[in-house]
Amino acid sequence: PATVYSGLADVILFEEFDTNEDSISNALQGTDAWIAFNVTSSLLPIFAAAAVKSSVKRVVFAVQLQNDESGPDVCFSPICEQLSAAGVLYTIVKYGELRPMGEGKYPYRIVRGALPIPSLTRSNSPVGSFPLSTQDLYRVLAEAVDLPKTYNNVYGIGPGTTLDSEILIYMKSQGWPERIQVGLLMGDMMEKIEQKYEALLRGQRSAAESGAAPVAAPAAALPSSGFFSN
């Protein structure tokens, strides 16, 4: 079945070369929400100013960063302050390498904006050795539009690991709507899961070294260990 996304009614297309603040602002007149992707860090101030000038109420900006911009604490604070002061509800999603692929082919990881963008070098399994898919990025952006949890927040998104794949598969197997899945992933849920996963691995190794009763396998424990309660 086709995937149904929330929150999108109309789409306004800008010419690729159209980076003029006034022309973008004029095109946005009367628009409640604006999703923009393939935004560079240099274009972000122009887009933010256009949003403020147009009186748009909600923006979701997907900002593609170069390697030297993808480290920690890249949170676009001046832009966030500008949008917030104007009463524009914003969500900024930063990302790195992107590949044109369908949704759900490979796992992805969403992190808080203060953290580095997840990259191929941190992915610890073959499943996570592929770039972020365009369709997975679009899915996250579309669902974030009317998710209050994401208002006035910055996130990073990038390649996932085997652990991310297990969580995504689990949520789909439970029949959870796309909105619920993305809502759970936006923030620090995967950080918490990874911490518990690593603690289980340490316990498993310790038990093996001491000859004690084996600790439950981390993958088997994930769905029933209360990871989804926070």
| 126 against 21, higher pLDDT | 21
pLDDT score, position 6: 47
Cα 68 to chain centroid distance, Å, stands at 19
Q: What is the mean pLDDT of residues 35-56?
A: 92
Task: Kindly report, residue by residue over 172-219, the tens digit of the pLDDT.
Answer: 888 888 888 899 898 778 888 888 877 877 777 777 777 765 555 444
DSSP state of 131: P
Residue that is written with structure tokens 């289980």 in the block: 200
Task: Kindly report, residue by residue over 10-41, the tens digit of the pLDDT.
Answer: 545 455 446 788 888 888 888 889 999 889 99
Nearest alpha-carbon partner for 91 in 24, 17, 39: 39
pLDDT score, position 64: 92
Q: What is the mean pLDDT of residues 122-143?
A: 73
Q: Which tokens belong to 11?
A: 């789409």
78 vs 64: CA distance, rounded Å = 18
What's the predicted TM-score (pTM) here? 0.79
Q: Does the pLDDT at position 224 exceed 80?
A: no
User: Residues 6 or more apart from 170 whose CB is under 8 A from it?
Assistant: 222, 223
